[in-house]
DNA sequence: CTGGTCTCCTGATCGC
DNA sequence: TGCGATCAGGAGACCA
């Protein structure tokens, strides 16, 4: 499931193929993966029968635009053209963006862009948790609602984001308005690396713990990017290549197996509706832990 | 306002 | 070998 490292790997792999290209034609095969200005917020509400999709000019989907930049904040990728129109890609769980000369669409392709060099950019998403958000004035306004980017998070900024919430630290880390880019996999990995129990109340973290956590988040995400991300099910970069970081996971997906640091059996619990794996020895449950 | 739960979706995997 | 049940989870809606 794509998180920040997968989005960044995708950005880097697509950038050389897309910069300077002009979009000749856009084809929408499924309207309901697009959130246009004026549409309800997206996600779940897209599916409601009582909401009618708003019409929008194809220019907002980059038609006849020349692609000028690919930027990322957290897990989201923005493709912006020379007019300043942006399409913000949310990959969700199974979303993918590929650029290829092949005329064959991958399964579940919902939107395609014909480029002026004969290649085709495609957005596909089997499970449709992903979406394309149209941002006529660029991604800045939408991204201002998100927390700081996790790849460069500083201890002071992280601590500041956590001091006023009584939620478990893991729930806070998964909230994109608190910290942008961390999902279930890397939350577990970073908490283990920082030796912090996932159920600790966020506001109870001390300065040195926030420092350790910020460093762990940056390190885990950087390491994952250097491995091309984690391919858990079907993640691929812009050229269709899988990542390999999944073999480096130290806790995610390893419940019941020995902790690679101390040998204790890793435990599983549910936090924020997410499967959570941690080491009961390396990440001791403190008095300030929330009930799991 | 805050935090917890529900819901969208379907491929992969498991148990019989 | 086949098939129904279960699991996975990003994030907005919804509710106490």
A45 Cβ nearer than 7 Å to chain C strand: yes
Strand C-contacting residues in A 243-282, CB cut-off 7 angstroms? 252, 273-275
Across all strands, nucleotide nearest A167 (CA–C1'): B3
In chain A, how long is the greatest CA-to-CA distance? 61
User: Three-state SS for A228?
Assistant: coil
pLDDT for the residue numbered A246: 67
Q: Cite residues whose beta carbon is less than 7 Å from strand B.
A: A 43-44, 47, 107-108, 126-129, 164-168, 171, 233-234, 272-273, 290
Assign A63 a pLDDT band (cuts: 50, 70, 90): very high
Helices (H), chain A: 4-18, 140-143, 155-162, 169-174, 184-193, 207-226
Q: Are A205 and A232 contacting, i.e. CB atoms less than 8 angstroms apart?
A: no
pLDDT for the residue numbered A62: 97
Any idea which residue has 């989005």 for tokens?
A7
pLDDT at A287 over 80: no
pLDDT for the residue numbered A47: 47
Structure confidence by residue, pLDDT tens digits, A218-235:
999 999 999 877 665 556
Any idea which residue has 């650029």 for tokens?
A99
- Mark the nucleotides of strand B covered by protein, meaning any atom under 7 Å from a CB: 2-12
Average pLDDT over residues A160-165: 90
Assign A243 a pLDDT band (cuts: 50, 70, 90): confident
Q: Are A2 and A45 contacting, i.e. CB atoms less than 8 angstroms apart?
A: no
Sequence-separated (6 or more) residues with CB below 8 Å from residue A173 = A179, A182, A187, A190, A191, A217
pLDDT for the residue numbered A38: 81
Q: Single out the residue of A212, A202, A169, A209 nearest to residue A188, CA to CA.
A: A169
DSSP one-letter string for A79-120 = EEETTS-EEEEE-TTTEEEEEES-SPPPTTEEEEEEETTS-E
pLDDT at A236 over 70: no
pTM given for the model: 0.92
Structure confidence by residue, pLDDT tens digits, A167-225:
999 999 999 999 999 999 999 999 999 999 999 999 999 999 999 999 999 999 999 99
Q: Which residues of A are catalytic?
A: 2-3, 75, 274
What is the distance between the alpha carbons of residues A214 and A197, in angstroms, rounded to a whole number?
A: 15
Phi and psi at residue A186, to the nearest 5°: -75, -20
pLDDT for the residue numbered A144: 93
Average pLDDT over residues A241-250: 73
pLDDT for the residue numbered A234: 58
Strand C-contacting residues in A 49-108, CB cut-off 7 angstroms? 74-76, 90, 92-94
Q: Report CA A202 to chain centroid distance, whole Å.
A: 21
Which one is predicted more confidently, A261 or A288? A261
| Gyration radius of chain A's alpha carbons | 20
Residue whose CA is minimally distant from B4 C1': A272
pLDDT for the residue numbered A244: 64
pLDDT at A256 over 80: yes
pLDDT for the residue numbered A290: 53
User: Three-state SS for A225?
Assistant: helix
Q: Are strands A131-135 and A34-35 parallel, antiparallel or unpaired?
A: parallel
Q: Are strands A95-100 and A267-271 parallel, antiparallel or unpaired?
A: unpaired
């Amino acid at each position: 499931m794509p998180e920040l490292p997968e989005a960044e790997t995708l950005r880097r792999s697509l950038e050389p193929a897309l910069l300077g290209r002009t979009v000749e034609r856009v084809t929408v095969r499924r309207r309901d993966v697009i959130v246009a200005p004026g549409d309800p917020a997206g996600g779940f509400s897209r599916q409601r029968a009582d909401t009618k999709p708003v019409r929008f000019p194809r220019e907002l989907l980059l038609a006849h635009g020349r692609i000028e930049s690919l930027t990322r904040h957290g897990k989201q990728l923005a493709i912006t053209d020379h007019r300043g129109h942006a399409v913000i890609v949310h990959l969700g769980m199974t979303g993918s963006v590929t650029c290829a000369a092949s005329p064959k669409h991958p399964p579940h392709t919902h939107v395609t862009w014909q480029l002026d060099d004969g290649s085709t950019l495609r957005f596909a998403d089997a499970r449709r948790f992903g979406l394309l958000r149209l941002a006529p004035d660029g991604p800045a306004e939408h991204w201002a609602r998100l927390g700081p980017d996790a790849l460069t998070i500083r201890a002071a900024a992280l601590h500041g984001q956590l001091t006023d919430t009584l939620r478990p630290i893991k729930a806070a880390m998964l909230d994109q308005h608190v910290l942008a880019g961390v999902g279930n996999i890397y939350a577990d990995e970073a908490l283990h690396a920082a030796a912090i129990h996932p159920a600790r109340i966020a506001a109870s973290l001390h300065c040195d713990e926030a420092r350790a956590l910020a460093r762990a988040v940056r390190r885990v995400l950087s390491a994952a990017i250097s491995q091309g991300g984690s391919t858990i099910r079907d993640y691929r970069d812009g050229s269709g290549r899988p990542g390999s970081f999944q073999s480096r996971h130290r806790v995610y997906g390893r419940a019941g197996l020995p902790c690679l640091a101390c040998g204790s059996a890793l435990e599983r619990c549910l936090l924020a509706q997410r499967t959570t794996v941690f080491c009961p020895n390396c990440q001791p449950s403190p008095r300030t832990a929330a009930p799991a």
